[in-house]
Chain A
Amino acid sequence: MPLTEKKHKELTEICKDLRKTILKMVNAQASGHPGGSMSACEIAAVLYFAVMNYDPKNPEKPDRDRLVVSKGHATPLVYSILAKAGYFKGDDLLTFRQLGSPYQGHTDRLRVPGVETSTGSLGQGSTFAVGAALGSRLNKFKNRIYLLQSDGELQEGSSWEAIMSAGHYHLGNLTAIVDRNRIQLDGWTEETMALEPIGKKYEAFNWHVQEVDGHNLNEIYDAILKTQEIGQKENKPCVIIAHTIKGKGVSFMEDQVKWHGVAPNDEELAKALKELV
């Protein structure tokens, strides 16, 4: 079931806004991670504006749907979407990474409402998500735990400890989405430390696996709905491998290793913003 035309248009606009805010945020302090924030905009937009049940006025509502962002360096995306979702006003987002700002370089749940857990140390959010899924099941909640993983962090052994345990405990209430942008800090993932075949690895740990174009809103949406169905029916954790482009949306940033952790200067920002109208 695809998104309605209206919803699709709304999400497309949201993604454009997110990318603009991301770029402005990292430009402001000349610091941050734009590439992996821009690759996951569509995934986050579908989750927050078409799928998840949450109440920004009550961020700790026990049976909320939860997004655990294990790629904790994608803070420009996290803060800009939480602001859009109404957790806070966000008129101070450009203080990102400044001394005293709530918007820390890597997520800090004690400073920003809506952040499920402080991440940044890769391979850790996944373990937290397994605990949140186990706890929600113990509480007999009907909610769902969504987990956004980077591809690079699958090189951490702890990611696989978490994946193994989710399969073992039949966590049908867990949906992981891998932002498969193929680039990590030092270069292409397959040259740095090959990850493929990723899908088969999850399958071997008893997960249900789907692959989508991570910039296609309808594909993401359908795949997520399918995980809700499969999870309940087969009592299996589900993963969606979302094929994405690092730096998506700005021609000179796409697929460039450089933009993993480098901020555009003023001139580059102006050029980028022009492309995002």
Chain B
Amino acid sequence: MGATVVESKEMIATRVAYGKALAELGKENPNVVVLDADLCGSTQTKFFAKEFPDRFFNMGIAEQNMIGVAAGLSTCGKIPFASSFAMFAAGRAWEFVRNAVCHNKFNVKICATHAGLTVGEDGASHQIIEDLAIMRVIPGMTVIVPADATEAKLATFEIAKFVGPVYMRLGRSNVPVLFDEKDYKFEIGKAQVIKPGIDVSIFACGVMVSRALWAQELLQKEGISAEIINVSTIKPLDKETILASVRKTGCAVTCEEHNVIAGLGDAIAGILSEELPSPLKKIGVMDTFGQSGKGDELLIHYGLSKEKIAEAAKEVIKKTKG
């Protein structure tokens, strides 16, 4: 499956696209209800809250209860979207997500914003770099990380149609708009080749998709053809697209705004080591806590940059081709 990247200077945070999509979704589906934990101004559920006050529940600063209440609502024919910062929706409430939602196979959507380092100035206590790991290990959980505003919007509509628990990771900071709604199709469980290439496969999710595209430009200048794949569904992973790309290129780089332990990189490494052992290098946070700073600065500081991706690409190509 492929998709085209658009030339655009527009920057929109995925949480903003989510918040607006949710308000639209509320119009077309009366069963959608939204819960928040005192952060609706930040998670952007405020648009829905304003339009549909009867279907919006502020649960206060109590994320465990929010998830349990969402589970209960789902048994009344509702489609609950529960939002908070990812640190708390995934971290604080993890055991409720596992037992109250997933073990019951309840139709709850956890849409968690402010994930990763790009929370920025709030610092390490809020910069969750473990959520993909702890969400993807829960049986039956679907895990989605939109790369841009377009994908965030389309994914919001898609997960409402999908029956079952979903975790969607959204960001605080503005990120480049990469896709045009008119020709971009988001499908749960499908990774998309967004720049074809032959020398190395670069798999990325979330904000790192734009970095991977920048790295692709750097590599191109050196005559290296990188294939960029947007892996917006972390679970279930699109094995077919991943293997098809690496069969062609022979090596892989993974990029995620997450701990390099147990996130996208390890998920792809797992598939490759079982089915197609190939040189692989992971770009991500090297098992360390973040700190305060501007989002973009932090990404560079922790090595989540186009330069590091390009270096990693050359390294794995060297291992493959000698």
Q: Hey, which bits of chain A sit against chain B, CB under 8 A?
A: 62, 108-110, 116-118, 120-121, 123-124, 126-136, 138-139, 157-158, 161-162, 164-165, 168-169
Contacts and interface: CB of A to CB of B under 8 A. Distances in A.
Contact of A134 (B60, B73, B103): B73
- The 4 A-B pairs at the shortest CB distance, nearest first, are namely A131-B72, A127-B68, A135-B76, A161-B65
Contacts of A169: 57
Given A117-B104, A135-B73, A164 B64 contact: no
A136 B76 contact: yes
A148 to B, nearest CB: 15
Contacts of A117: 71-72, 75, 100, 104
Contacts of B64: 123, 127, 157-158, 161
Contacts of B68: 124, 126-128, 130-131, 158, 162
Nearest to B61: A161
Contacts of B104: 109-110, 117-118
Given A127-B96, A138-B55, 14 more contacts: A110-B104, A116-B75, A120-B99, A127-B72, A127-B100, A128-B68, A130-B72, A132-B72, A134-B69, A134-B76, A135-B75, A135-B77, A138-B78, A157-B64
Give the dominant DSSP class at B's interface.
helix
B65 A110 contact: no
Nearest to B72: A131
Contacts of B74: 131, 135
Given A165-B60, A165-B69, A128 B76 contact: no
A38 B69 CA distance: 29
Contacts, number: 104
A121 B70 contact: no
A127 B96 CA distance: 10
Contact of B72 (A110, A123, A135): A135
6 contacts: A110-B105, A117-B104, A120-B99, A124-B99, A129-B72, A135-B78
Contact of A158 (B65, B71, B77, B103): B65
Contacts of B59: 161, 165
A124 B72 contact: no
A118 B99 contact: yes
Central interface residue in A127, A130, A158, by most chain B CB within 10 Å: A127
B77 A127 contact: no
A247 B47 CA distance: 53
A176 to B, nearest CB: 14
